[in-house]
Structure 1
Amino acid sequence: MIGADEVRQIQSAARFGSTRAQVLLGQICVDGNGVPQSRTEGRRWFQKAADAGSAEGINMVGRCHEFGWGGPVDLAAAAACYRMAAERGFAWAQFNLASLLHDGKGVPRDRREACFWFVRAARQGHAKAANMLGHYREEGWLHPRSPAKAWRWYGRAAKGGDFRGQFNLARFLFAAGQREPALIWLDRAVEGGIPDFWREIAPLLAGHPDPALRRYGERARTLASSGSAGASSQPPPNAR
């Protein structure tokens, strides 16, 4: 929970025109973190930042359209916002646009263009984009399957702090017989995850013949049931 003094400082900076503070205040309002929750108010602050030309603010208006914060869900409008911010070089917008293109949400499915934007984001150090590129090379969604290239992308995602990338790197290490480093990355993935991720991996690990992996499966199931947050599961304001 953010402190009252910090909230007042952010509010003051936002009123004086700091677009970064406006985005932060918008997220605080959306989350109800230190202030009464109001997604309408959050959206208003995101829009102020966007109107001032902030790519981060434009991206967050896209999030409002995508998730219905302060208004109806409009995936086409979300994609348009993400594209505008992505073209200005904002990595989170590049990732968000790529995700919609990959799934065909609000825009026609176009995995070639999705891959283009994932690469642009990953080159800026965006760990989640790197993880998606690992999937592209592992699954052969656009280019021929390449486990070696998938491994490298997952490694970049893992080192960048993405828990899904850490889990995928652990999978590759375990399959290659590198059990101890695999368990290190798996531990980081589980402890840094979120409930949806824990529910996803728990059944994959719980029935594994390796007892250490079974324990992580039980740990994931326990965390998912309790609704607790892992050590690093709180995303930055633009996180998906």
Structure 2
Amino acid sequence: MGFQLQREELLSGEQLQSMLAENPARAAQAILLAAKQGILEGQALLGQILLEGQGIERDEGLAFRWFGIAAQGGHVMARNMLGRCLEHGWGCTADERAAAGHYRMAAQAGLDWGLYNYANLLATGRGVVQDQHAAFALYQEAAHLGHAKSMNLLGRYLEDGRYCPADSRAAWNWYERSAHAGDFRGQFSHAAVLAERGNIEGALQWLECALAIGNLKFLRVSRAALLEAKEPSIRAMSDVYQARINTLLNKAL
């Protein structure tokens, strides 16, 4: 006998997310049923678990299709995920210009991730005409919505001062907020400020936090920066970062 759920069990996105954490395979069946019944949150979540292979066989092409269905129904995060797929070529031909269009729509709807992703394209000129001032404004909007990665990038713009009035104090505040919100780049930025202020113990603690969750690209760039540190204990963290890099590389083999 097949797995069955009542329709009312499928209406809560929070319930489905909770199920994913507890029992991915069971949640995948519930999400699939919800998606087929036309429930937007189920359609968007089905795209996500297909993209990640969470509780279901990974299928990027099918994920792209379900994101499209949910986006057509008005699901803003699914619209953002269509952009992600098009930017990176997940289940489709990469098309940064098309990705920018979807990010723009998600940003206009006020989605923090849409604001962030569209800002990234504007900042780098991928798929759109480069516009650092517009990127700054979008990062700022996303940061005020609580988006951790945007907080760190807003801090960089404020510290740099080329596309907005320079404000080091505000930049440091955003780095700290980003760190506490869980962004590993924000944690590294905050650690750098603490080290500059002479709080070496605090800096080391945040470097450890960034080390635990940072991706391979971040770790490599960060290790190079640590090698240039004046404080010996901070500089010694480069060896710890290298060890973590080696671990991640070995896992990938």
What is the identity, as a one-letter code, of the residue corresponding to 2:148? Answer: A
Q: Does 1:103 align with 2:124?
A: yes
Residue 212 of structure 1 aligns with which residue?
233
State which of 108, 116, 125 in structure 1 corresponds to 2:146: 125
State which of 51, 58, 62 in structure 2 corresponds to 1:37: 58
What RMSD in Å do the two structures reach over aligned CA positions?
1.9
Q: Does 1:152 align with 2:173?
A: yes
- The 3-state SS of whatever aligns with 1:145 is coil
Q: How far apart are 1:29 and its partner, in Å?
A: 1.2
Residue 45 of structure 2 aligns with which residue?
24
- The 3-state SS of whatever aligns with 1:227 is helix
State which of 180, 192, 217 in structure 2 corresponds to 1:196: 217
Residue 47 of structure 1 aligns with which residue?
68
User: After the TM superposition, which residues 160-179 of structure 1 pair with which residues of structure 2 at under 5 Å, given as runs?
Assistant: 160-179=181-200
Q: Is the 8 A contact 1:19 1:57 kept in 2?
A: no
- The 3-state SS of whatever aligns with 1:17 is coil
| 4+ runs deviating over 4 angstroms | none
What is the identity, as a one-letter code, of the residue corresponding to 1:227? Answer: L
Distance in 2, matches of 1:18 and 1:163, equals 34
Q: Does 1:227 align with 2:245?
A: no
Larger Rg: 2
TM-score, length basis structure 1: 0.89
Which has the higher mean CA deviation after the structures are superposed, 30-39 or 184-193? 30-39
Q: Is the 8 A contact 1:151 1:172 kept in 2?
A: yes
Q: How far apart are 1:209 and its partner, in Å?
A: 4.9
Residue 77 of structure 2 aligns with which residue?
56
What is the identity, as a one-letter code, of the residue corresponding to 2:38? Answer: G
Q: Is the 8 A contact 2:87 2:96 kept in 1?
A: yes
Give the 3 Å change call, closer, same or farther, for CA 11–165 of structure 1 in structure 2.
same
How many residues are treated as equivalent by the alignment? 229
Gapped regions of structure 2 (runs ≥ 5): 1-21
What is the identity, as a one-letter code, of the residue corresponding to 1:96? Answer: N
What is the identity, as a one-letter code, of the residue corresponding to 1:72? Answer: T
Residue 236 of structure 1 aligns with which residue?
none
User: Relative contact order: is structure 1 or structure 2 higher (C-alpha 8 Å, sep ≥ 6)?
Assistant: 1
Q: Does 1:73 align with 2:73?
A: no
Distance in 2, matches of 1:83 and 1:203, equals 35
Residue 112 of structure 2 aligns with which residue?
91
Distance in 2, matches of 1:23 and 1:206, equals 43
Residue 187 of structure 1 aligns with which residue?
208
Identity over aligned pairs, percent: 39
CA offsets per residue over residues 125-174 of structure 1, 9 Å max, x none? 00101111111012223124332121011111111111100100100110
Which has the higher mean CA deviation after the structures are superposed, 206-215 or 100-109? 206-215
- The 3-state SS of whatever aligns with 2:226 is helix
Gapped regions of structure 1 (runs ≥ 5): 229-240
Q: Is the 8 A contact 1:190 1:216 kept in 2?
A: no
Q: How far apart are 1:11 and its partner, in Å?
A: 1.3
